[in-house]
């Protein structure tokens, strides 16, 4: 199984959340990647933090450890289709989260997130929560 790691799980890992660290160890040999959206969210968090240099350094290190998947036309096709479907159901989610989910769907990856509540609205999206 291959995984797309969501922003919240990366942050929990950086904070040494016991269950998340255990799951990273359990899945150490499984392919893992990040959406470019997650990378952007990490850069944003580092830039607004009190320790910009240290946190940007950690963000850049994370980018060395995990392949970053850019937004592609195929991902945008999935995004458009999924957003339209969710709107018709009255179950919309934030566009950045929808881009992360669309990346997972397009690349047939399991999304690892603690934000199961609204990601569960997306039909066909495989989810694992490594924080519980």
**Residue 101 belongs to domain with CATH number:** 3.40.50.1010
Helix residue ranges, H only, 1-132: 7-14, 18-26, 36-47, 52-65, 73-89, 95-106, 116-119
CA 111 to chain centre: 6
Model confidence pLDDT, tens digit, residues 57-86: 999 999 999 999 999 999 999 999 999 999
CA 24 to chain centre: 14
Model confidence pLDDT, tens digit, residues 25-36: 999 999 999 999
Q: Say what percent of the chain tops pLDDT 90.
A: 98
pLDDT-derived band at 131, boundaries 50, 70, 90: very high
Contact 107, 8 (CB under 8 A): no
Q: In 10 A of CB 9, how many CB atoms?
A: 27
Note down the domain range covering 123: 3-128
The count of domains in the chain is 1
* Over residues 4-23, mean pLDDT: 97
Q: Say what percent of the chain tops pLDDT 70.
A: 100
Q: Structure pTM?
A: 0.95
Quick one: pLDDT at residue 118? 85
């Amino acid at each position: 199984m291959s995984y797309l790691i969501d922003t919240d799980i990366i942050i929990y890992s950086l904070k040494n959340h016991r269950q998340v660290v255990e799951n990273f160890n359990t899945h150490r040999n499984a392919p893992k990647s990040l959406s470019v959206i997650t990378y952007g969210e990490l850069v944003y968090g580092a830039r607004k933090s009190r320790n910009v240099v240290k946190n940007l350094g950690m963000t850049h290190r994370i980018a060395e450890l995990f392949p970053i998947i850019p937004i592609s036309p195929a991902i945008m096709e999935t995004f458009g289709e999924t957003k339209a479907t969710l709107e018709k159901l009255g179950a919309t989610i934030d566009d950045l989260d929808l881009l992360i989910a669309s990346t997972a769907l397009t690349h047939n990856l399991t999304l690892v997130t603690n934000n199961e509540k609204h990601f569960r609205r997306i039909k066909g999206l495989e989810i694992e929560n490594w924080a519980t």
